[in-house]
Amino acid sequence: MKSSGWKDLKRFYSLETSQKFLYQQYEKRNIHDANQQAYKNCERFIYFLKHGHTFYEQAAIAPLELKPILLFYGMAQLLKACLLTVDPHYPSQTSVLAHGVTSRKRKKQHYRFSEDEVKIQRNGLCMHVLKHLFHLNGLEDERFTMIHLLSKIPEMSHILDFQKQPSALVKVEKANGMMIQDHIPLLYNMSAERFIEYFEFHTSWKLRQRAAKKLTFDVSLEENPALATHLHYDLEMDQWYIPSTRDSFLGIPEIISHYLLMYNLSMIARYETEWWYELLSQYISDDYVMIERYMEIAEEKFPAYIMMLLEEKTKKTSSVWN
């Protein structure tokens, strides 16, 4: 499952390849003049990818103080490239050009990043991505705290465990489907029967087998962590997770979690200069360790997930794990 991110994304750095790829995407969606639209957009598609790559290259050599700004704009460019695969007319109106996220006003004293929150706006890039790439609706005005977003990124678990943050994920096993140990329904305060019913209702999963100590589900599109909203993947450890409780479900894919987190960090780096430099130079709170580790993860994981998202689009049919 591991992806090399930028190395794989460079496959698209060819007008011929990108035009064929976009044509296939538009044909699948019965878009009028698919060939003409693919020809029109293939250069833009490459430029979005390359511009995102340039931001990430600069972030790799930039001081920590500037990284969030560069990484956020890099993420935005990659998402725009993905949007072109489903929306050949993007941007068809100026309202989708905004970031589509707001952060609350900060209190100057006793501010903690982990307790801060962001809100998804009704218009802008974020909502456009949710609707067109992930077919998710009803998230307008939804608020997310930073700690809830961070806790759904499996690579953050060691830092959060060390800081005594509540665990939001629990391991599951990928083997002939997705195997869930029999103690996990207890974490949901459910019987095994209710847990099966709950997961089948809220996901595309279907129970394959119920054994003495495990439940095995067939998993279709959710095998791709770039698409999943309730299945989480540790890219470094090659390990799968699900939310540890019902309250741990966020209802958004991890790509959006990264976009929301980095948006807020970039705003802090731009407009909360005093707090930002105190944090980075004086190590004033646990936020420093959390933020530094998160940016390290995002540099590798976001481009890899973008590639997984594009790879999913090259599949002719939706596969089910066997």
Residue that wins the pLDDT comparison between 101 and 247: 101
d(CA 92, CA 101): 19
Q: Are 22 and 42 a contacting pair, CB within 8 Å?
A: yes
Task: Identify the domain boundary among 231, 248, 265.
Answer: 248
Sequence letter at residue 98: A
Give whichever of 58-72, 176-190, 279-293, 300-314 has the largest mean pLDDT: 58-72
The reported pLDDT for the residue numbered 4 is: 65
Residue that wins the pLDDT comparison between 227 and 256: 256
Q: Is the pLDDT of residue 149 over 70?
A: yes
- Total tally of structural domains belonging to the chain: 2
d(CA 264, CA 280): 16
38 sits in which H/E element: helix 34-61
d(CA 223, CA 242): 12
The reported pLDDT for the residue numbered 319 is: 41
Closest CA to 53 of 25, 77, 21: 77
Q: Are residues 85 and 232 in the same domain?
A: no
Q: Are residues 91 and 113 in the same domain?
A: yes
**Residue range of the domain that includes 196:** 168-248
The reported pLDDT for the residue numbered 247 is: 83
Closest CA to 290 of 175, 143, 163, 191: 163
Q: Are 304 and 225 a contacting pair, CB within 8 Å?
A: no
What are the DSSP E strand ranges found in the chain?
A: 101-103, 117-120, 143-145, 169-174, 178-181, 206-210, 214-218, 232-234, 239-243
Residue that wins the pLDDT comparison between 5 and 155: 155
Task: Identify the domain boundary among 218, 248, 278.
Answer: 248
Q: What are the tokens at 104? A: 């609350």
In a domain, 161, yes or no: no
d(CA 169, CA 175): 19
The CA–CA distances, whole Å, from 156 to 93, 98, 165, 232 equal 37, 29, 11, 12
The reported pLDDT for the residue numbered 321 is: 38
Give the percent of the chain with pLDDT over 70. 94
91 preceded by cis ω (within 30°)?
yes
Q: What are the tokens at 303? A: 């481009």
Task: Identify the domain boundary among 221, 248, 275.
Answer: 248
d(CA 216, CA 208): 6
